[in-house]
Amino acid sequence: MKRNGSEIEDGRGRELFADLGRQTPPLDDRELRAMARSAAAEPRSPQAASTSLLSRTHWAHPFRWVGATVAVALVVGSGLGFSLGSSLTSPESARASFVGTGFLPAQGWTVVQSGRVDSRGVASAVAANVPLRPEDDLEAVPYATLEALPARGVVIVATFTTRGDPGADFAYPPQALPLQIATATPVPNGLVVPRPLGEYRLRAGIRGTNVDARIYFGTPKPSGELRAAAQRQLNQLAVAAERVTIFARPTIIGEEPVIVYGSVDSGRAGEEVTIQAKDCGSDFFRVFAGTTTRDGGGWSTVIFPRINTTLRAVWKDSASGQVGVRFRTPIFIDRQRQGAGFRVGVFGVRRSFWHKRVLVQRRQGGTWKTVKTVVLTEPAWTKFSLSVPKGSFVRAVLPLSQARPCYLPGFSRTLRT
């Protein structure tokens, strides 16, 4: 359909643009809420407060893929000596010994926390010398409690993340416990809920864990007595450490590299860490890469798996847990350099794809329709002819049935014939 400028001028253009939006099936509330919850489940990284959101730097959100679900993770540290929910703690329980990451409650304090740093590398804890309000949904900042915080109230919110991300570690100087309130930095223009609170921040790298503690006082200028109360609770902070940890991001890849990182519990620089990999189809781990730790025991390196792979880190006689990285089959479709036909195949893979079936699809009537199935006659590619109208959009697809078990399905870029 051709149209002239006047059609557009009379407002038709606006309608056409509106059509673009209307054609898209809307997301329902449930899906939107799930997306929101998923996003909000990730603890806010320290960098978020100081870095522009639009930064493209990967390090700006060091634990974006970690995806901690704080609300779910906030469980009582049973067996760790932690107190429950908003009940006040007796002096006896405050003296209990424990292993874990978080607060042992000081006398008269309430703590809620997740316990150990989980498999995704995140834990959180909230301690308060006032009862936590039930309407707080146990998020990183207990908003309702802070809103009602009396002048003598103190709330400490701590987030624990695994060291190893150099983009984050620099902000967490290695320290020994206990953390000192005297070294906390005041946060200017802190929370106003609705009256101003005193907000202080402490960041430290402790035994392979970065601790980010925010201390809220009920008054902008806390007295020495209040600061001493906060220090008593800070003295009860404990950080457990696995001997060596490993994390990877992203865990589903195409052609991009994978950043693997973690920490060792010695907290020392210069320790050798070996990254071992077990490729799909293999029964054993092989040495894949090596690196050394930085100050605080964190380490990181970049690897390029070309097949579904399981990774682990080995330090001295200890092996970390395992993380899996899955690889999308990199498939291509292009024109032959000579002749009228096309080529289709996979590139940069470690396995033969000989006799695998590739679907060639054409965009037609708003959907992709398979117009041909091509068998790869070479280890990784083949030539074929295709009869479609000039200007058609085509792509190649390697379905899961052909890709598994060692690869994920792959889609080529779209080619205009």
Q: Using CB under 8 A as the criterion, which residues of the chain lie in contact with another protein when the complex forms?
A: 1-5, 8-9, 11, 13-14, 16-27, 29, 32-33, 35-42, 44-45, 48-54, 56, 61, 64, 71, 137, 139-143, 146, 191, 193, 254, 363, 365-367, 393, 395, 411-416
Shortest spacing between CB 191 and another protein, in angstroms: 6
Residue 211 burial (CB count, 10 A): 23
Instruction: Tell me how far the alpha carbon of residue 82 is from its chain's centroid.
Output: 27
User: Coil, strand, or helix at residue 70?
Assistant: helix
Rounded Cα distance, 214 and 139, in Å = 13
Nearest residue (CB) to another protein, 54 versus 176: 54
Rounded Cα distance, 401 and 147, in Å = 55
Shortest spacing between CB 33 and another protein, in angstroms: 5
Nearest residue (CB) to another protein, 40 versus 177: 40
Nearest residue (CB) to another protein, 112 versus 280: 112
Residue 347 burial (CB count, 10 A): 11
Shortest spacing between CB 51 and another protein, in angstroms: 8
User: Coil, strand, or helix at residue 124?
Assistant: strand
DSSP β-ladder status, 110-113 and 122-128:
antiparallel
Shortest spacing between CB 37 and another protein, in angstroms: 6
Shortest spacing between CB 47 and another protein, in angstroms: 8
Cis peptide before 178 (omega within 30 of 0): yes
Shortest spacing between CB 306 and another protein, in angstroms: 18
Phi, psi for 331 (deg, rounded to 5): -110, 145
Shortest spacing between CB 140 and another protein, in angstroms: 5
**Vertex 385, ends 381 and 386: CA angle to 5°?**
115
Residue 374 near residue 416, CB atoms below 8 Å: no
Beta pairing partners, 186: 200
Nearest residue (CB) to another protein, 216 versus 261: 216
Nearest residue (CB) to another protein, 69 versus 235: 69
Query: If you ran DSSP here, which 8-state letter would residue 12 be given?
Result: I
Read off the tokens for 118: 């989980």
Shortest spacing between CB 328 and another protein, in angstroms: 10
H or E segment and range at residue 372: strand 367-375
Query: If you ran DSSP here, which 8-state letter would residue 60 be given?
Result: G
Shortest spacing between CB 2 and another protein, in angstroms: 7
Rounded Cα distance, 242 and 265, in Å = 6
Residue 199 near residue 187, CB atoms below 8 Å: yes
Nearest residue (CB) to another protein, 22 versus 95: 22
Nearest residue (CB) to another protein, 28 versus 283: 28
Nearest residue (CB) to another protein, 50 versus 338: 50
Nearest residue (CB) to another protein, 32 versus 75: 32
Query: If you ran DSSP here, which 8-state letter would residue 39 be given?
Result: H
